[in-house]
């Protein structure tokens, strides 16, 4: 009886393996193009906060031709993208390329270079809040800056710094 049960178990496990015959199908060719690679390369930073990265990628991946407001005869399209931390207003051409953007995010995690520069220059001050701004232009590239509000007791100071830690 023991051999019979083991035999049924072995037969039950091996029969599904033999029943699977792979079916080979040829798929049509797919062409992937990175239309907004210039935008992604210009705004790419190693230490940008994750919500900022996600929204910037949505801007780059936005398919203008699938939008309900798309018409071939318009010269520019302005599209706004929002998240709780901030927003991006992007201008697209009819081919779907990002021509320029205005980005503003509040209270995002600061890059290490910015935190270190502020801590070195203002040692007894604490960061109360910050605003991250990016302006991108297809011809000029990206300009990234932080406006930081510092507090020391009852004193308040505002400073402006770029993404590399240089004060403006």
pTM over 0.75? The answer is no
69 contacts 77 by C-beta, under 8 angstroms: yes
What residues contact 26, with CB distance under 8 A and at least 6 apart? none
DSSP-assigned beta bridge partners for residue 74: none
Q: What digits encode the pLDDT tens for the residues 6-22? A: 876 776 666 565 555 66
Instruction: Give the per-residue pLDDT at 158.
Output: 93
C-alpha distances in angstroms, 37 versus 7, 32, 88, 131, 133? 60, 12, 17, 25, 20
Instruction: Give the per-residue pLDDT at 29.
Output: 78
């Amino acid at each position: 009886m023991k051999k019979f049960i083991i035999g049924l178990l072995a037969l039950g496990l091996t029969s599904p393996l033999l029943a699977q015959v792979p079916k080979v199908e040829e798929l049509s060719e797919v062409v992937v193009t990175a239309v907004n690679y210039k935008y992604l390369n210009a705004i790419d930073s190693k230490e940008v906060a994750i919500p900022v990265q996600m929204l910037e990628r949505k801007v780059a991946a936005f398919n203008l031709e699938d939008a309900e407001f798309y018409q071939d005869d318009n010269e520019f399209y302005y599209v706004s993208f929002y998240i709780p931390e901030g927003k991006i207003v992007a201008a697209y051409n009819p081919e779907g390329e990002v021509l320029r953007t205005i980005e503003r995010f509040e209270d995002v995690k600061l890059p290490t270079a910015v935190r270190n520069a502020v801590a070195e220059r203002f040692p007894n001050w604490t960061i109360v809040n910050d605003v991250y701004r990016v302006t991108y232009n297809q011809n000029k590239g990206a300009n990234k800056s932080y406006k930081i509000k510092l507090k020391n007791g009852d004193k308040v100071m505002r400073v402006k710094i770029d993404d590399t830690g240089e004060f403006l």
